[in-house]
Amino acid sequence: MKGILKLAYKLLVNDKPKFRALLVGISFAVFLMIQMTALFAGILKRASATVFNLGASMWVVDPSLQTPAYSIGMPDYVLDFVRSLPGVRYAVPVYSGGALVKLDDGTYQSVSVVGLDDASLLGRPPLIEGRIDDIYGENAFIAVKDAEFAKLHSPHLGTEFQVNDHRGVIVGIARVPSGGLFGIPTLYTTYKRALEYIPNPRFTTSYVLVETKSPRDVAYVQREVRALGYLALTRDEFVDRISAFYKFQTGIGLNILLMTVMSFLVGLSISGQTFYSFVVENIEKFGALKAMGAKSRELMLMILFQAAFIALTGYGLGVGFCTLVIALAKLRIPDYAALITYWNLAFALVMVAIIAVISSYFGVRRVLRIEPFDIFRT
């Protein structure tokens, strides 16, 4: 059996033009599939940036809310009601909205403003410059140092700007786990200051961040909040809700799916045709092996080994090339959203396996049909 596999390997690699063509076809298909799915994974992660950055274990939201990009205000009695529930350790309001700031050179820039609870500052980002207590100072804001930081002219401590004719001062520079999706810089301040500086509708509480006394209280809190007409979502449930919105209610999911299917078909067509051509060109060698006593299952094993070797080698090359391209792109484009995850890699591996199975199927059929006397007949 070892000799059969060694022979299959030599037959494959000695036909250099076909071997290269097979590797290029598989690698290119893997590159495209991982690139498309990685881009989608990055979009979904950035769409949930608010959830990851604030880090609360439970969120109370309006039932119509689909994405944090468009927060829906809730009346104050929702916060009071949640705080009154027996299973709640604490609940705090958070403001999330947009504003237009005037920078020091007179230009204007859209920003996302997050107003943290004045008493607890729950959800505050870790600072890399400044002190968190300074957020209580007059006109104080904290800027997030992410891919959009330069749009604020890379401010430092003490940098001044204007928000709706109010003076603002940067008192801290923070870093967050995930950047936003829409290329807008983020500023943190206190809840009270956000309401004072930014025009708002009647209801101003974007979310209520909740911590229960124990995991057993989660279901109870969710039932009570639902009875009030609102939703209490765990962090994972909120992320899943946001992901479902971008997958099924926007064109992003469908477009990524179509591009991935096209990548699969490109790889299948190139690899399948090239592999079948390789088998046909070497049909005499397979016939000679059959004439010398090689069994059908041994010939099948040769074809399957060749297809698996090509698939796995091309998969590795495609993953490596895609990883290199994404890494280089992020160096040049900081807000590039692509993110390679385990399910990206697993999905591409399954697709490559399907390509290998389909390609080998036609090769096996061709080899099993040959008769030794057809090879030696003149």
Closest alpha carbon to 268 in 155, 154, 212, 351? 351
110/203 same-domain check = yes
What residues have CB less than 8 Å from 93, skipping those under 6 apart? 79, 117, 191, 205, 206, 207, 208, 209
Please state the domain count of the chain. 2
132/198 same-domain check = yes
81/214 same-domain check = yes
- In a domain? residue 242: no
Cα separation, 322 vs 324, in Å, equals: 5
294/367 same-domain check = yes
Q: State which of 229, 262, 294 marks the end of a domain.
A: 229
141/266 same-domain check = no
Question: Is the CB of residue 267 less than 8 Å from the CB of residue 28?
Answer: yes
At residue 130 the predicted structure's pLDDT band, cuts being 50, 70 and 90, is: very high
Q: How confident is the prediction for the chain on average, in pLDDT? A: 86
183/87 same-domain check = yes
Q: Rounded to the nearest 5°, which phi and psi values hold at 221?
A: -60, -40
The pTM assigned to this predicted structure is 0.79
- In a domain? residue 62: no
Cα separation, 253 vs 195, in Å, equals: 36
Q: Where are the alpha helices (DSSP H) in 158-234?
A: 191-197, 217-228
At residue 321 the predicted structure's pLDDT band, cuts being 50, 70 and 90, is: very high
Q: Is the pLDDT of residue 325 over 60?
A: yes
Query: Both tokens of residue 276?
Result: 């079948």
Cα separation, 186 vs 147, in Å, equals: 10
143/196 same-domain check = yes
Q: State which of 174, 199, 229 marks the end of a domain.
A: 229
Q: Which amino acid is at 157?
A: L
Question: Which has the higher per-residue pLDDT, 81 or 330?
Answer: 81
Closest alpha carbon to 296 in 377, 370, 374, 375? 370
- In a domain? residue 342: yes
Q: What is the residue range of 6's domain? A: 2-46+251-376
295/365 same-domain check = yes
Task: Tell me what pLDDT residue 188 has.
Answer: 96
* Among 32-36, 121-125, 294-298, 340-344, the least confident range: 294-298
Tell me what percent of the residues of the chain surpass a pLDDT of 70: 96
Q: Is the pLDDT of residue 376 over 70?
A: no
214/297 same-domain check = no
Task: Tell me what pLDDT residue 371 has.
Answer: 66
- In a domain? residue 67: no
Q: Where are the alpha helices (DSSP H) in 249-341?
A: 251-281, 283-291, 296-332
Task: Tell me what pLDDT residue 40 has.
Answer: 87
327/362 same-domain check = yes
Q: Is the pLDDT of residue 320 over 80?
A: yes
Q: Which tens digit of pLDDT belongs to each residue from 136-184?
A: 998 999 999 988 888 999 999 999 999 988 999 999 999 998 877 777 8
What value does the mean pLDDT take over residues 318-342?
A: 87
* Among 66-80, 278-292, 341-355, the least confident range: 278-292
What value does the mean pLDDT take over residues 337-341?
A: 85
What value does the mean pLDDT take over residues 344-369?
A: 82
Q: Is the pLDDT of residue 378 over 60?
A: no
What are residue 20's DSSP bridge partners?
none
Q: Which tens digit of pLDDT belongs to each residue from 261-292?
A: 887 887 778 777 777 777 777 777 777 777 77
82/178 same-domain check = yes
225/259 same-domain check = no
